[in-house]
Amino acid sequence: MSGPSRYDVADRAPRTLIDFMLRWETILIGLLIAVVIGNTIISPYFLDIYNLSDATFNFSEKAIIALGMTLLILVRDIDLSVAAIIALASLAMGLAADAGAGTGLLIPIGLGVGAICGAFNGLLVARIGLPSIVVTIGTMSLFRGLAQVILGDQAITKYPAAFQTLGQGYLIKWPPIPYSFALFLVLAAIFTFVLHKTAFGRKLFAMGNNPIAAQFSGIPVNRIRFWLFVLTGLLAGVAAILLTARIGSTRPNIALGWELEVITAVILGGVSIAGGAGTIPGVVLAVFILGLATFGLSLVNVPGIVISVLLGLLLIVSIAMPIVVRRLLKGKPVV
Amino acid sequence: MVDEPILRLDHVTKQFPGVRALHDVHMALYPGQVTALLGENGAGKSTIVKILTGIYRPDAGAIHIGGKLQSFSSPRDAWRSGVSAIHQETVMFDDLTVAENIFMGHMPLRSGKRIDWQLMNARAAELLKSVDADFGSEVLLKRLGVAQKHLVEIARALSHDSRIVIMDEPTSALSAREISDLFLIIAQLKAEGRAILFISHKFDEIFRVADRWVCLRDGEHVGEGLIKDVEPRGLVKLMVGRPIDQVFPKKKIEIGEPVLEVVGLSNPTEFADVSFTLHKGEILGFYGLVGAGRSETMQALFGVSKATAGVVKLNGKTLAISSTADAIVSGIAYVPEDRQVQGTVLPFGIRENTTLASLHQHTDKGILSRVSEQKITRKLGGRLSVKAAHWEQRLNELSGGNQQKVVIAKWLATSPKILILDEPTKGIDVGSKAAVHEFMGELASEGLAVILISSELPEIMGMADRIMVMHEGRIVKNFTRAEATAEAIVTAATGGGHHAAA
């Protein structure tokens, strides 16, 4: 039996056009094109390079957090406290700025608070073994509450000009690319490489699909989960720096509700909420779709509340559609 | 005693893909009598239970209850006909009350489909009284201990007013005192004229409680009679008796120097003072009943759990293993018993499963090389004759036997020195089983040291060079291949040898 196998086994399955068409990324690209065309029709100002560049300010910070959230959801965890981490990190930077700290000190403070908050979540989840959804609902109130108690109903607005440039300035003048957007693109490229090309990425997929078998295969499941929380906290710290610098102030309600917008992007990007499936390019496309759709609608003065209704519908329809199409192809009843 | 059976199975056959679970089996249960169902693991006992409780339908054969032909298409049909079962692992609802558990599926109703709580609680209280329970009917189930939960199961069986009660290893989780209490209840059920089918591996219990016995082997009926006419020795022979030596491809292999030495390995709850030496080229068998602590011992060796005492030496060097990663680096590989949960990532393809425990071998400057992964997958998948359409095929599309081959391939890819196989042929088809056996011998002849945990006597006697028998967390006996007999192994595993040796 140690001779050649009794069976002929091909290296891979034959690829079919239907499989490619039904790939989530293909669908997202279609959706993105639809959003661009739709926006171009409803507003003559949409396809303006400066307007588009402006639009990226509004989603780059959330998009950066979405990268970390993607990895967490992939391994069956979640972090609902990311927006509250922004509040706490922004507060810490505000207090430091009040005390006269310069940009060189504010950046490590923002990053450090983010990472510490993430480590706190990670300890409770990976060390003590509490469910991440429960832990981060708790720390969401805890972190935000701390920020509110300390800040009261005031705002801190004394940030150095050099610091504010981080959130408002451009890395390249033409085409105009803001620092935040450039940072997102670089991080997205790194995340894509790590998740889809390295052994570490493969381990994350294994953990998401079967954490027990992953542990039995020598993967340090809980250690990795801990570090993913630290990473996501750190990215929330990055977002806190960019956002605080962009609006030049810290308020108690800063980034309120962002955690859901981040998770919306991750889910629309095709990451399974049950873990184990998803891609970074998918999430990047989803970020663009949501960001540009929001931007286009606001150009024609659709109120924010209506935009959120439309985005909710977009999420549900686009997630239901491939399932419905697959059932139709297999001749199964849709409902 | 009455001699007209209340339940009769005639010519019952049940086939699963690749496995013949039951073949032309007959059996009778008598009112007011306890019948013990005997057989090795895999002999077909649980298939019988599942047929009697309406979970499986037989492919052929008839069930008569009280002289009437029955055909169960659901568990509900089975209770209605008066059959209920108390299972090995209790299947109940922790967050509901005792009364709700007892009457789940047949709660007394008032008009408008509303539950009649008063009547239900009152009837539950009566049933609990009849089994001498010391807790009320409105207590939440999760507040109860294992033995108390068993009483709830028994009360549930009585709530159907079942004439036939099946007890599938009812004592496996009970203490000696609780077992005595259970036997009092059994005596009472007998006095009420109910027929009891009693399944147990423990001969002392069978001889205490049963009136009759029926023995199965490989899905076939091999004997029956009255308990007073037999001795344990005779029953064991009947359970295991078949010429097994010829079937197994045991190779003559030179046993080399010691590779792994384990001294006094202990853990507070699962196993104690486990010591053994494993040699190069050797297949060391571990036999025992379910729950004897074999898997737990091996999982401690593999770094899944921690041993609290003991020394493990590999090639003379003391090992400190605190994670599975440590174990893999040391050259230990473990093919777990629960293939679907512990062994495979089912949505992954064959290639991704094969390389999962040895990914670092396939990276170049941190980048995974698909070419390198494909190479090892082709090599090992081919060597194990994995049957698949292509190497990217997902594991959940493969048969159990082929899944197991992929798990073994995953561990061979780590180039281990020690391979631990935990029930490697459990639940896989005959062809794959033979392939696994043959491969095991081949690996040993290449100098690998193999530990084989198996609950199947023929397998362990056919493949192992030496056999360690565990009972209640300890190694109670060890046999060389030459001195091992089925009777002696089973006696030791059921606790008999333990007392004899003490």
Phi-psi region of B282 (alpha: psi -120 to 50; beta: other; left: phi over 0): beta
**Strand, helix or coil at B418?**
strand
What is A47-318's CATH topology? Answer: ABC transporter involved in vitamin B12 uptake, BtuC (1.10.3470)
- Residues on A contacting B at a C-beta cutoff of 8 Å: 1-2, 4-7, 9-13, 197-199, 201-203, 205-206, 209-210, 212-220, 276-277
Domains of chain B and CATH, by start: 7-240 (3.40.50.300), 249-331+417-502 (3.40.50.300), 343-415 (no CATH)
Phi-psi region of A275 (alpha: psi -120 to 50; beta: other; left: phi over 0): left
**Structure token pair of residue B466:** 């030496």
**Strand, helix or coil at A153?**
coil
Give yes or no for residue B243 having a pLDDT over 50.
no
Chain B interface, best mutation among A203, A205, A210, A216, by max B CB count within 10 A: A216
| Residues sharing a CB contact under 8 Å with residue A73, sequence separation 6 or more, in sequence order | A263, A266, A267, A271, A272, A273, A275, A278
**B347 with A209: Cβ contact below 8 A:** yes
| Residues sharing a CB contact under 8 Å with residue A293, sequence separation 6 or more, in sequence order | A35, A39, A307, A310, A311, A314
User: Which residue is closest to B329 within chain A, CA to CA?
Assistant: A218
pLDDT digits (tens, 9 = 90+) for A201-226: 999 999 999 999 999 999 999 999 99
- Total residues belonging to chain A: 335
Q: Stretch B165-173: mean pLDDT, rounded?
A: 82
Give the residue with greater pLDDT, A14 vs A121: A121
Q: Stretch A285-292: mean pLDDT, rounded?
A: 96
Give yes or no for residue B251 having a pLDDT over 70.
yes
Lowest model confidence (mean pLDDT) among B314-318, B433-437, B449-453: B433-437
Give yes or no for residue B76 having a pLDDT over 60.
yes
Listed by number, the residues of chain B in 401-440 with a beta carbon closer than 8 Å to a beta carbon of chain A are: 410, 435, 438-439
Give yes or no for residue A325 having a pLDDT over 90.
no
Q: Which ranges constitute the DSSP H helices of B322-456?
A: 324-330, 350-354, 370-383, 400-412, 430-445
B370 in reach of chain A (CB within 8 A):
no
Q: Stretch B131-154: mean pLDDT, rounded?
A: 86
**B325 with A218: Cβ contact below 8 A:** yes
**A1 with B439: Cβ contact below 8 A:** yes
| Amino acid, single-letter form, for residue B418 | I
What is the 8-class DSSP label of residue A13?
P
Q: What are the domain boundaries of chain A?
A: 47-318
Instruction: Name the most confidently modeled range: B374-378, B426-430, B458-462.
Output: B374-378
**Looking up tokens 């069930």, which residue turns up?**
B63
Using pLDDT thresholds of 50, 70 and 90, give the confidence band for residue B238.
Answer: confident
Give yes or no for residue A331 having a pLDDT over 80.
no
Residues of A within 8 A of B334 (CB-CB) are: 216
Chain A interface, best mutation among B345, B432, B438, by max A CB count within 10 A: B345
Give the residue with greater pLDDT, B74 vs A98: A98
Cβ(A128)–Cβ(A71) below 8 Å = no
pLDDT digits (tens, 9 = 90+) for B16-43: 765 678 999 999 999 999 999 988 766 8
pLDDT digits (tens, 9 = 90+) for A262-273: 999 999 999 998
The residue among A320, A327, A56 whose CA lies nearest residue A188 is A56
Q: Which ranges constitute the DSSP H helices of chain A?
A: 17-21, 24-42, 49-74, 82-98, 103-122, 132-151, 161-168, 179-197, 199-209, 211-216, 221-247, 258-268, 280-299, 304-330
Locate the DSSP E strands across B230-343: 258-267, 271-279, 283-288, 309-314, 317-318, 332-335
Q: Stretch B383-406: mean pLDDT, rounded?
A: 88
Say what percent of chain B tops pLDDT 90.
51
b/e B177-192 (16+ beta carbons within 10 angstroms → b): ebbebbeebbeebbee
pLDDT given for residue B209 in this prediction: 93
Give yes or no for residue A328 having a pLDDT over 90.
no
Give yes or no for residue B181 having a pLDDT over 50.
yes
Listed by number, the residues of chain B in 324-343 with a beta carbon closer than 8 Å to a beta carbon of chain A are: 324-325, 327-328, 334, 336, 341-343
pLDDT digits (tens, 9 = 90+) for B261-289: 999 999 988 899 999 999 999 999 999 88
